[in-house]
Amino acid sequence: MQPKLYVANYPAGDFRAMPALGGGHALLKWVTSFPDNPARGLPTVSGFVLLSDATTGIPEAVLDAAAVTALRTGAAAALAAMTLGRDGSVAVVGTGVNGAAAARTFASIGRELAVWDVEAARAAALADEIGASVASNREDALAAEVVVTVTPGREILYPAGSLRAGQHVSLMGADGPGKAEIAVEEIARAHVFCDEWEQASHSGELAAAVEAGVIGRGEVTELGRVLAGEAEGRRSDDEVTLFDSTGLAIQDLAIAVAALAKVDELQLQTLDV
């Protein structure tokens, strides 16, 4: 799988092209991230996903990139937390589209959780929808035993020395150059996992730590290897674990193929071409 290609227009935002091939299908995702868009009444993430038959090259489906991104982000956050985290309190920090998807994923598997957002009304609405609680403040949410952070990545949420023994954090917000939700010092003292090393080390939460020389390929495990039984996950109850997600096109492909298989059940629009 090729790494995503960034077309930067900072500080406004960026465009990303993400190809993938597998399971008899090919996918191209063209997606944007413009963090100031909500102030304009526009979504932060927009774009489309084109799914094609890998044998004939014929297009099969066009999907909303924001919806696909939210589903795969939520699934990845929860899967990493369930694989690496301990049983205990769960919190989702940031309840925008992708954060809400992560919270809904936890709720769908029966995990009790708290949510927090800078927009209190948004967090409260989500909590009412899924039967969650609203954390009294950000610090309480960040202190949960299992935490998912889905913020714009403009502010360090975990400064040096802030992670607690046994804590797991799925870092979902810093998905591009210059973004960070955690201090480099905290990455250096944790057992670190990522979705894909090449991408995460250049454009994810790990990029700053790699550039500073405090972490390298040998200290980071891809989550897929843990799921496949090829690598060790959490090693002790007191260990701090981190998962850095930059989002993979192969995950988008899985969501798109699943949607295609349920066209009738999901009542998706179809066209004869």
Q: Give dist(CA 112, CA 72) in Å, integer.
A: 21
User: Catalytic site residue 179?
Assistant: no
Alpha carbon of residue 93 to chain centroid: 12
Is 261 exposed, middle or buried, given 0-12, 13-18 or 19+ CB atoms closer than 10 A?
exposed
Alpha carbon of residue 195 to chain centroid: 9
Tokens coding 213: 């020389």
Cβ atoms of 245 and 193 within 8 Å: the answer is: no
Tokens coding 18: 């993400």
Q: Give dist(CA 224, CA 226) in Å, integer.
A: 5
Buried b (16+ CB within 10 A) or exposed e, 24-37: ebbbbbebbbbbeb
Q: Residues with catalytic annotation?
A: 29
